[in-house]
């Protein structure tokens, strides 16, 4: 069968049993940025509701209990990340049914669909593609050569996982584009790659090649005026600091945007590990950045989804006052203040010889 091009595929999002914003953050972000292509969510525990009901985004897109109820679709996207990144046995029937219907399957799990003999055989028999977004063969170390200093590199960094680093990066790129700046979102995680259509799943790269894989992304896109690189976890995170440090030194940011979720007190999934303060996270990042790029934190993106409007406004004031930095919730407040911080930094870059400068 002929599969339509990526930007015209009709998507069913598999969120079985996890239609909520944290476990289902892939689904949530696809609803936010590619919602016009999503025909249904598949979650038998929430059938009859809408995406807007269960995710707060996606409006009237229906949640269905069976693939047969979803209407015509070309692609099944696994929208949730089960513990350990493995494919739960209970998903097999629906994956097989989707293949049988000729749908492409897209997965960001650590367990690859393409390594599963049953799914591979079924897909081959039906002529269907299994797309594992995290699969990569990165084998290049960083070289620290050939970086253009007239392309502004911004990295979103975090106090923890799943705080909104990808959303902040995408929103800043969109805000820059609205001002006529040729900006590019550099995706470094599976959801970002699904949305942007390119990027590198750096948490799946062999550790020796993480810095190099990130540098390769920068080199590939530095003909743009601004690159906003999607951050991962935190260099202070007990589990994932390797990923975050490789990202920092691989992209050598000129500036960083700190992202956090207001009200979160401990690392997600680690109730025995309190979060370090924002001040300590900033100090750690700026210290390690001295060994690559020398960038500073230039603004704060607040994820205030757990707060009332009044509490969010108070939190924003508190952060501006205590950290002395521009601060905004990119979803609630819009991105103007964060975009302005990026543009200010852009003003101090060296002018490119060819086009007369960006200052």
Residues that bind a second copy (CB under 8 A): 84-85, 110, 139, 141-145, 202-208, 210-212, 235-249, 270, 272-273, 276, 280, 283-284, 287-288, 290-292
Q: Contact 175/183 with Cβ under 8 angstroms? A: no
Q: Report, in Å, the least distance between residue 189 CB and a second copy.
A: 11
Cβ atoms of 107 and 129 closer than 8 Å: no
The residue (of 67 and 214) whose beta carbon lies closer to a second copy is: 214
In angstroms, the CA 64 to CA 50 distance is 9
Nearer to a second copy, 58 or 199 (CB): 199
Q: With respect to a second copy, which residue has the nearer C-beta, 210 or 299?
A: 210
**66, two tokens:** 């069976």
For a second copy, the closer of residues 177 and 242 by Cβ is 242
Nearer to a second copy, 22 or 314 (CB): 22
Minimum CB–partner distance for residue 249 and a second copy (Å): 5
Least spacing, CB of residue 105 vs a second copy, in Å: 21
Q: Are 175 and 207 in contact (CB under 8 A)?
A: no
* Residue 66: CB atoms within 10 Å: 11
Asked whether 292 and 252 are in contact (CB, 8 A), the reply is: yes
Report how far residue 295's alpha carbon sits from residue 317's, in angstroms, rounded to the nearest whole number. 24
CA neighbours within 13 Å on the CB side: how many for 43?
A: 27
Give dist(CA 205, CA 134) in Å, integer: 9
Q: How far is the CB of 1 from a second copy (least distance, A)?
A: 33
Residue with Cβ nearer a second copy (28 or 236) = 236
State in angstroms the smallest separation of the CB of 236 from a second copy. Answer: 4
Q: Which is nearer to a second copy, 162 or 304 (CB)?
A: 162
Q: How far is the CB of 99 from a second copy (least distance, A)?
A: 25
CA 232 to CA 241: how far, in whole Å? Answer: 9
Half-sphere exposure of 89 (CA within 13 A, CB side): 0
CB nearer to a second copy: pick between 9 and 204? 204
First to last CA, the chain: 50
Lookup: tokens for 159: 């106090």
> What contacts 263, CB < 8 A, 6 or more positions away?
306, 307
3-state secondary structure of 42: strand
Task: Please report how close the Cβ of residue 230 comes to a second copy at its closest, in angstroms.
Answer: 15
Tell the smallest beta-carbon distance from residue 128 to a second copy (Å): 27
């Amino acid at each position: 069968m002929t599969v339509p091009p990526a930007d015209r595929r009709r998507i069913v999002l598999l969120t079985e049993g996890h239609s909520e914003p944290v476990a289902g953050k892939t689904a949530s972000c696809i609803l936010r940025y590619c919602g016009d292509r999503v025909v249904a969510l598949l979650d038998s525990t929430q059938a009859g509701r809408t995406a807007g009901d269960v995710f707060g985004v996606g409006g009237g897109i229906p949640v269905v209990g069976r693939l047969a109820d979803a209407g015509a679709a070309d692609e099944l996207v696994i929208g949730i990340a089960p513990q350990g990144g493995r494919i739960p046995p209970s998903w097999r029937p629906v994956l097989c049914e989707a293949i049988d219907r000729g749908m492409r399957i897209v997965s960001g799990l650590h367990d690859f669909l393409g390594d599963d003999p049953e799914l591979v055989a079924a897909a081959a028999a039906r002529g269907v593609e299994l797309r594992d977004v995290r699969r990569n063969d990165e084998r290049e170390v960083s070289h620290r050569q050939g970086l253009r200093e007239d392309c502004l590199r911004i990295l979103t960094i975090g106090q923890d996982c799943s705080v909104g680093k990808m959303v902040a990066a995408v929103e800043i790129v969109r805000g820059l584009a609205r001002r006529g700046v040729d900006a590019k979102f550099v995706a470094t995680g599976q959801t970002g790659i699904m949305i942007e259509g390119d990027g590198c799943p750096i948490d799946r790269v062999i550790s020796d090649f993480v810095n190099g894989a990130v540098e390769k992304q920068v080199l590939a896109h530095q003909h743009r005026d601004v690159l906003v690189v999607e951050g991962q976890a935190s260099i202070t995170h007990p589990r994932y600091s390797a990923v975050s440090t490789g990202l920092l030194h691989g992209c050598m940011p000129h500036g960083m945007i700190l992202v956090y979720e207001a009200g979160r007190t401990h690392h997600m999934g680690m109730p025995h590990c309190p979060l370090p303060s924002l001040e300590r996270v900033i100090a750690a990042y700026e210290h390690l950045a001295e060994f690559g790029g020398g960038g500073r934190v230039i603004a704060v993106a607040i994820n205030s989804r757990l707060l009332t409007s009044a509490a969010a406004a108070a939190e924003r004031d508190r952060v501006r006052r205590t950290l002395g930095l521009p601060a905004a919730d990119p979803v609630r407040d819009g991105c103007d203040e964060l975009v302005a911080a990026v543009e200010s930094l852009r003003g101090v870059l060296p002018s490119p010889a060819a086009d007369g400068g960006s200052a």
